[in-house]
Amino acid sequence: MASLRARTVTTLVALWLGTHATRLAAQDSTTRGLTLGHRPDSASLLAGRFHALLIAVQNYSDPAIPRLQAPVRDAERLRDLLTSRYRFDRRDVILLPNPKREALLGQLNQLSETLGRNDNLLIFYAGHGIWDEASHQSYWLPVDARRINSAQWVSNSDVEGSLRRMKARHVLLIADACFAGALLLRDVPPDQAMSRLYELPSRKAMTSGSKETVPDSSVFLDYLIKRLEANAAPYLPADDLFSSFRTAVMHNSPVQPQFGTIFNVGDEGGEFLFPLRQGGESVAAEGDTSLNAVANGDPASAMLTRTPREIVQVRVREFVDRIAKKDMTSLDEDYRALPGKPIDWKEKLLVFVRDDLVSASTAGTPEILIDGNEATVDLKVATQYNDPVVRGKPRAVLHFLVRFRRLGDDWSPRSYSLVEKPPF
């Protein structure tokens, strides 16, 4: 067992590189607001939810593992920044101070089961990191870790397993920890169009170093937070963020921060984006501010100029379009059976949409109830299908309850349910 890191903050991506991460000693420099980043053309980003799991370990129970001072404070700084400037709802940001191994892995596994295709996840680890030459792996040390016994350590393989099961569109691991870079596969190649980068799944990691140990006070995290605070771009790609502070870290510390792809866990070349909640570049259009702007290539402009009810109406139309386009993946993932209703309604619906559906459209005016950050829509959808002999008639009406959650100025779909027995 080699060196133990004074303090480690790790991102999921960091464990896969084959090098090991290092923490950096902080030094400040004056910076101007960034203009890095671009606004994706795809409306899917507006529907995306942004989650964060912030893991901070400092009060180790084993006297042989030195206690740390900064991890919890740094995780709280990052949480406050993400929820105030970026589109991370506070209810979707989980802070785990001094978790045991079971709690840490349990939370990762829960996220792998509950997040879906419209979700993005940032994982942050701050605490001790260790490199074991015998197993050729790096480890995170939870609060119940023992220096002389690896049973309670969290290995690269543990983290990889959770990432591999993740259904989220994008996962970014940020690790400011010793030996964190062992997760990374390679440097990220130049990317193409921003909208394409968001659509493709990604599993990336950003770490404070490679194979070096790092001090409790982190230059890496200081500059990362500084750049996030200064950013003015409405959507900031993770690799642009990294490029904006990498040189400053290297000039003010003896380590080399790393950014790359996590190997063999589902990366397809996409990119995690940090979306501003307010401020930064204006994305409002000077011309058309109607809801039709969503369909005409400028969804962000329309969303920022409409009332909450009008935005929910747009999202309802998108839900109906998902049915009409037979989007089986999202329809399968987002369905939640109402209490007391048969669970096989979902399977009947999916078979009907897949095999028989010809068209779908809104029937009547949906009833929208907005309560704080939650919206519930009573929706009826008129459908036409191919086989009236089997179904009895060529048309039907499906009755849904669709739920949305506020994300900054936008509303994101959460789930939907069938209210009445489907007529087939």
Residues 105-162 pLDDT 10s: 999 988 888 888 888 999 999 888 887 777 777 889 999 999 888 899 998 888 888 8
Instruction: Return the pLDDT at 392.
Output: 57
Distance CA 121, CA 111 (A): 9
Give tens-digit pLDDT for 302-358.
444 568 888 888 889 889 988 988 888 888 888 998 888 888 899 989 988 888 888
Instruction: Return the pLDDT at 196.
Output: 62
Burial 87-113 (b: 16+ CB within 10 A, else e): bbbeebbebbbbbbbeebbebbeebbe
Partners of residue 416 on adjacent β-strands: 335, 402
Question: What is the maximal distance between C-alpha atoms in the chain?
Answer: 75
Distance CA 283, CA 273 (A): 16
**β pairing state of 395-407 and 410-418:** antiparallel
CATH number for the segment(s) 8-275: 3.40.50.1460
Q: Does CATH place domain 292-418 in 3.10.450.50?
A: yes
Q: Is there a contact between 118 and 413 (Cβ–Cβ < 8 Å)?
A: yes
Among candidates 236, 245, 228, which has minimal Cα distance to 198?
A: 236
pLDDT lower than 50: segments of the chain: 1-42, 180-193, 279-304, 389-390
The dihedral formed by the CA atoms of 100, 102, 106 and 109, expressed in degrees to the nearest 10: 110
Distance CA 402, CA 334 (A): 10
Instruction: Return the pLDDT at 197.
Output: 63
Distance CA 204, CA 220 (A): 17
CATH topology identical between 8-275 and 292-418 = no
C-beta atoms surrounding 338 within 10 Å: 11
Per-domain residue ranges of the chain: 8-275, 292-418
pTM for the model stands at 0.56
Instruction: Return the pLDDT at 44.
Output: 58
Instruction: Return the pLDDT at 249.
Output: 86
Phi-psi region of 408 (alpha: psi -120 to 50; beta: other; left: phi over 0): left
DSSP string, 41-73: S-THHHH-EEEEEEEE----SSTTS---SSHHH
